Structure 1
Amino acid sequence: MVRVAIGAIAALISTSVAIPVGSAAPVDPIVTGNSLLHAVTAPNGSYVEKATLEDDRHLTIYVHSASMNKTVPLQVQRPADTSVPRPVLYLLNGAGGGEDSATWEAKSDALEFLADKNVNVVSPVGGKWSYYADWRAPDPELGVNKWQTFLLDEIPPLVDAALGSSGLNALAGISTSGTTVLALAEARPGMYKSVAAYSGCAQISDPIGYQFVKVTVNVWGGGNVDNMYGPQGDPMWAEHDPVLHAEKLRGTTLYVSSGNGLPGSHDTLTDSHLQAQGPGGLANQMVVGGAIEVGTNFCSHNLANKLSELQIPATFNFRPNGTHSWGYWEDDFKASWPVIAPPIGL
C-alpha cells in the first residue's frame, strides 16, 4: 500500500485544475493510492516533485516552488482519523526554518500532543533567517526568498489535494515565525481561521522592531536585511508591519503569548528543553534568551494595546516569567490548543 501511494503522488502531472476542497473524491487519497495530485498544480505552476511515506502517520511532500525555483520539503503528520476531510494546522519553525535542530519535532512534544487530534499538521523545512517573507531582492547569503507566496499561494492547493483536507486552516509559529503568522493572516484575511504566535515581535517598522529583525537577519543569519524590505524607513517596512495593519486580523481567532525574560521553571540545568546542555547552555538561555524575550514581550504588549484600541478580541498569555526557549513554547502551544482548535472544527 505504501509503494502504491508513493507512486500515485510521484505521478503528478503539470496540469492545473480546480478540485473543490472536501469534494466527493477520496478523503484520504495518499493512503488509498488515488492521489488527486495527478491533476493539480498551484496557479503559478508549483507542483509536487515527489513524496515519501515515513510510516502510516508521517510523510514528506517535496514541493517545487515556482517563485523560488527550488524544492521545499513539507513534513506532514496525518490525523488520528482520516475517514472524513480534516483541517490543516500549518506549524512554522523559528529562525532556522526547520533546517537546524531547533524544530517543533526535535525540541517539543507538540506532535505527540497532536497525535490523537483529527488535524493534518504541516511544517515546511526551509527559509532560515527569512522571516518567511517575500524579499524585495535576492540575498547573496540567503538566496531568493518568496516564502509568503509559497505559504499563501503555492502549497495550499497542493496540500488540500494531497491530504483531502476540509479547507479549514490554522497557523502557529514561534519567535521570528511569531511575526510571520500575523503577517500572513493580514495578507490573506480569512485564509486562517485561527492563529497563534508564541514569543514573536509583531512590530517591525519602528526603531525597536526594525533592530530586532536586523540583528536576526544580519548578525545571526549572515544576510543583509536591506534585501528584505529595503533600508530602514523604506515604506515596505510599514507595509508589512503586523501592528500597523492589525485591523486585518478582525475575524481571526488569535492567541499570543510571551514571557518577560525572568528565569522560570524551564530555566534549570535539569530541563530537557535546553538548546545546549550544561551550565553554558543554561547561561545562554537565561542571558540571551532572557534579553530576546524582553523584546518580544514589549512587542506583544504593543499588539495587545492596538487590538484593544480596535476592539478586536484576542487571547493573550503574558507569563510572569520565562525566557525565549522551547520549554515555554511547548507549554504555550498546549495552552493555545483550546483557543485555536474550535475555529477549525475541532
Structure 2
Amino acid sequence: MNKRAIARVTAAAVATALPLSVISVLGTGAAVAGEALTTAAQSETGDGRPASDFRDAATVNDPFPTRAAAEQRNYVEESKAAWRDYVYQAEDGSNEAEQATWKAGDRYKRMEERLVHSEAMNRDIPIVTIRARDDHANAPTIYLLNGADGGEGAANWLRQTNAVDFYGNQIGNVNVVIPMEGAFSYYTDWEQPNATLDKGGKKQAWETFLVQELPGPMESALGTSNPNRSIIGMSMTGSTTLVYGEKYSGFYDSIGAYSGCAATSGEAARTVDIVLDRGNATYEQMWGDRNGAVALENDALANAADLKDQHNVYVSSSTGLMGEHDVPSGDRLNGFLPGSITPAVEGGAIEAVTNVCTHMLKSKTDAAGITRESNNLVYNFRNTGTHQWGYWQDDMFDSWPTISEGLFPGNGAEAVRQRDAGKADYLQKNPGMGARGSTPVSSLIPLQESVSDALAEQYGEAAE
C-alpha cells in the first residue's frame, strides 16, 4: 500500500471520540456543595451584546427537581441518558449519608438538567449545567462540548473526567453548560435532513443553536450578568470550536480544542466520514460537496488565518505513542492489562493523525502571525498519548490558564495555582504508576509522515 493510500485509510479514523474500553474506568462523584437557584428563562441576552445578535431565542426551562420528573417528561431516550447518574442522587439511597437532607432521586446541589427548546431545530435538547458555587451573579460561563457521541453514550465529560469537581469546587466561580445530544453532528448547521439524527425535528442547526439561540437565555436563566464565555471541545468538537472561533471571533473570550483535526474538506473529508458513518449519515447531508463552499467554510485549517481576531486559544494533540493513561500501571486502567489494546491499536492511530493536523494548523497560524505573543494562542504537543479521555482531562487542567485569561483577564497567577491544585488533587486520588509503564509504538511514525504528505498536498504547506 503506497503512502497516499495509507493516509486515506488511516485518516478516516480521525476525530471520532470513540467510546474506548479504557475510558469507562473512572467513576467521578458528581455531588458538589451549595444551593442551586431556579430562575425562569428570559429572552434577554444578558451579556452586553445586542439582542439582534441572536436570531431566535431558545426556551430554557427550570431544572427538573428529581430524576423521576425528568424521566416522566420523556423528551430524551432513557437509554441515552446515563449522564443522569451524575446529576441525580442514587435511587438506592447509597449516598444519602453525605447529606442528611438529601433524598434518593433528587438532584445534586448545583447540578441541573434543563430541557431547552431550539426554535431552529424544533426539538427539545437536554442540557446539564454545573452552577457556580461562588458569586453566581458574576460568574462567567463555559460551554463544554462532548465528542462524537454527543454525550448520549458513555463518552461524556461527566463520566470520563472530574470536570464537576474541578470547575465546580476547585475553581468554583464559573458556570458550566454541557449539551447532552448532538451525536455525530459536528455541532454544525446541516445542508440536508437526516431522519435518525434530526430526532423528529427540523434538519440539524447546532451552530445556530449554540451561537445564536442558547447563550442569552441560558446565561439569563443561570442568573449571571458576566458577559464572558468560553467554549471547549475535544476530538470531533475540537475542530468545531476552532471553526466557531474563526467565524465568530471574540464571541467566545477563550477557546479550547483538544485532539481535533482541523482539516475537514476535500481529501481530508475522509477524516469526517467515519464519524458520520457511525450515525448513518453522509458528508453531503452535512456540508454538501466536500470541495464546495459550505465545506470550505467549515474547514478550520483552510481558514486558519481567520483566527487573527480571536484571543486565548488552547490547542492540543499527542503523538499517538502510548503514555501514562494507556498502560495498566496508569491511573485509568487500574491494572487491567487488556485495556491497553484499544488505545494502542485504535487510539494511537487516531491521535497520530490528529497530531499531523494540529502541526499543520500551527504552521498556518504561525505564517499568519497568530501566535502566543499576539493572540495568546497556545499549542500543547505531548510526546506521548493516544486518543482518549485521560489526556483530555489533562487538557482541562493545562488549558485553564489560557481559558481563564478570557474569563478573568489578568488572573494568570491564580489560574496557574488552580491548574496545579487540580492536577495534584486528581493524582492523589488516582495515583497509578504513570509513564514508567509506557510502551511507545514506533510504527506510528511512518503513519504520521504519510498523513502529513497527504495534507501538505491539499493545503500547500508541510507540517512541522
Is TM > 0.5 for Structure 1 vs Structure 2?
yes
> SS of the counterpart of 1:302?
helix
The one-letter amino acid paired with 1:216 is V
- 1:173-229 C-alpha deviation (Å, 9 max, x unpaired): 11001011111122211111111111001111141x2101011111x2222221011
* Pair 1:18 & 2:44 matched: yes
* Aligned partner (choices 177, 180, 185) of residue 122 of structure 1: 177
Paired residues, what number? Answer: 318
Match of 1:135 in 2: 190
**Normalization by structure 1: what TM-score?**
0.85
Structure 1 residues 49-58 or 74-83, which shifts more?
Answer: 49-58
Contact 1:104 1:110 in 2 (8 A): yes
> SS of the counterpart of 1:158?
helix
**Normalization by structure 2: what TM-score?**
0.64
Match of 2:109 in 1: 56
> SS of the counterpart of 1:90?
strand
Q: For the structure 1 residues 76 and 82, does the alpha-carbon distance in structure 2 shift closer, same or farther, using more than 3 Å as the test?
A: same
Gaps of 5+ in 2: 1-33, 66-106, 372-376, 412-464
Q: Report how far residue 97 of structure 1 moved.
A: 0.4
> SS of the counterpart of 1:195?
strand
* Pair 1:170 & 2:230 matched: yes
Gaps of 5+ in 1: 24-41
Q: Report how far residue 55 of structure 1 moved.
A: 2.9
Match of 2:146 in 1: 93
- 2: CA distance, partners of 1:3 / 1:343: 27
Q: Report how far residue 122 of structure 1 moved.
A: 0.7
Bigger RCO of structures 1 and 2 (CA < 8 A, at least 6 apart):
2
Q: For the structure 1 residues 160 and 285, does the alpha-carbon distance in structure 2 shift closer, same or farther, using more than 3 Å as the test?
A: same
> SS of the counterpart of 1:200?
coil
Q: For the structure 1 residues 196 and 65, does the alpha-carbon distance in structure 2 shift closer, same or farther, using more than 3 Å as the test?
A: same
Tell me the C-alpha RMSD between the 2 structures. Answer: 2.4
Match of 1:102 in 2: 155
Match of 1:319 in 2: 382
- 1: CA distance, partners of 2:335 / 2:251: 40
- 1:311-341 C-alpha deviation (Å, 9 max, x unpaired): 1122111101110011111112101101110
Q: Report how far residue 56 of structure 1 moved.
A: 2.6
Contact 1:140 1:223 in 2 (8 A): no
1:1-346 to structure 2, matched below 5 A, reads 6=38, 9=40, 17-18=43-44, 20-21=46-47, 43-53=55-65, 54-82=107-135, 84-114=137-167, 115-117=169-171, 118-143=173-198, 144-165=203-224, 166-207=226-267, 209-218=268-277, 220-250=278-308, 251-273=310-332, 278-313=336-371, 314-345=377-408
The one-letter amino acid paired with 2:147 is G
- 2: CA distance, partners of 1:3 / 1:259: 39
Q: Report how far residue 59 of structure 1 moved.
A: 1.1
- 2: CA distance, partners of 1:49 / 1:64: 8
The one-letter amino acid paired with 1:183 is V
- 1:135-155 C-alpha deviation (Å, 9 max, x unpaired): 101113322321101100111
- 1: CA distance, partners of 2:217 / 2:335: 40
Q: For the structure 1 residues 263 and 49, does the alpha-carbon distance in structure 2 shift closer, same or farther, using more than 3 Å as the test?
A: same
- 2: CA distance, partners of 1:59 / 1:96: 21
The one-letter amino acid paired with 2:166 is F
Q: Which has the larger radius of gyration?
A: 2
- 2: CA distance, partners of 1:277 / 1:183: 39
Q: For the structure 1 residues 279 and 159, does the alpha-carbon distance in structure 2 shift closer, same or farther, using more than 3 Å as the test?
A: same
- The structure with more helix, counted as a fraction of residues: 2
Contact 1:80 1:116 in 2 (8 A): no
- 1: CA distance, partners of 2:274 / 2:295: 15
Instruction: Quote the sequence identity (%).
Output: 35
> SS of the counterpart of 2:399?
helix
Structure 1 residues 265-274 or 324-333, which shifts more?
Answer: 265-274
> SS of the counterpart of 1:121?
strand
Q: For the structure 1 residues 289 and 116, does the alpha-carbon distance in structure 2 shift closer, same or farther, using more than 3 Å as the test?
A: same
> SS of the counterpart of 2:344?
helix
